[in-house]
Copies of this chain bind each other. A is one copy, B any other.
Amino acid sequence: MAKTKAAAASRKKAGATGNRPRRPRADQSIGVFDSGVGGLTVLHAMSRSMPRENLIYLGDTARVPYGPKSGETITGYAIETADFFVDRGVKAIVVACNTTTALALDLLRQRYPIPVVGVVEPGARAALAATRNGRIGVIGTEATVASGAYAKELRAVAPEVEIFTRACPLFVPLAEEGWTGNDVARKTVAAYLSSLKKSGIDTLILGCTHYPLLAKAIGDYMGPKVRLVDSAEETAREVKRLLRAQKLQRKTGRGSASFFVTDLADRFTRVGEQFYGSSVSSAVRVVLREG
CB distance from A181 to the nearest CB of B (A): 13
Instruction: Please give the count of copies of this chain that the complex contains.
Output: 2
Pick the contact of A62 from B73, B169, B172, B174 — CB < 8 Å? B73
Q: Which residue from B72, B179, B184, B267 sits with its C-beta under 8 Å from A68?
A: B267
Residues in B with CB closer than 8 Å to A187 are 183-184, 187
Please measure, in the bound complex, the distance between the C-alpha atom of A187 and the C-alpha atom of B179, giving whole angstroms.
Answer: 12
Interface flag for A255 (CB, 8 Å): no
A182 at the interface (CB under 8 A from B): yes
Q: How far is the CB of A192 from chain B (nearest CB, A)?
A: 9
Who on chain B is nearest to A68 by CB?
A: B267
Q: How far is the CB of A36 from chain B (nearest CB, A)?
A: 9
Asked if A264 and B182 sit within 8 Å, CB to CB, the answer is no
**Which residue of chain B has the shortest Cβ distance to A65 in the bound complex?**
B65
Render A226-266 as a binary contact track against B, CB cut-off 8 A, 1 for contact.
00000000000000000000000000000000000001101
Q: Which residue of B lies closest to A268 (CB)?
A: B68
B72 engages A264 (CB within 8 Å) = yes
The answer to the question of A63 belonging to the interface, with a C-beta cut-off of 8 Å to chain B, is yes
- Contact between chains at A177 and B170 (CB < 8 Å): yes
Residues of B within 8 A of A288 (CB): none
**Chain A interface category by residue count:** 20 to 34
| Interfacial chain B residues near A191, Cβ < 8 Å | 179, 182-184
Q: Is the CB of A173 within 8 A of B169?
A: yes
Residues of B within 8 A of A267 (CB): 68, 142
- Answer whether A70 and B263 are a contact pair too, CB < 8 Å, given A184-B188, A187-B183: yes
Asked if residues B177 and A69 are in contact (CB atoms below 8 Å), the reply is no
A13 to chain B, nearest CB (A): 26
Give chain B residues whose Cβ lies under 8 Å from the Cβ of A173.
169-170, 172-173
Q: Indicate whether A64 reaches chain B with its CB closer than 8 angstroms.
A: yes
Q: Name A262-291 residues within 8 Å CB distance of B.
A: 263-264, 266-267, 290
Residues of B within 8 A of A172 (CB): 173
Point out the residue from B70, B177, B264 that lies within 8 Å of A70, measured CB to CB. Answer: B264
Chain B residues with CB below 8 A from A184, complex form: 170, 184, 187-188, 191
**Could you list 17 A-B pairs, sorted by A, with CB under 8 Å?**
A61-B68, A61-B69, A62-B63, A64-B68, A69-B263, A69-B264, A70-B266, A72-B264, A73-B263, A170-B170, A170-B179, A170-B184, A172-B173, A182-B191, A183-B187, A184-B187, A187-B187
New A-B pairs, 15, CB < 8 Å, besides A62-B63, A173-B173, A183-B191: A62-B73, A64-B68, A65-B65, A68-B267, A69-B263, A72-B264, A169-B176, A170-B170, A170-B173, A172-B173, A182-B191, A183-B187, A184-B191, A187-B187, A290-B290
User: Which A residues form the contact surface with B (CB < 8 A)?
Assistant: 61-65, 68-70, 72-73, 142, 169-170, 172-174, 176-177, 179, 182-184, 187-188, 191, 263-264, 266-267, 290
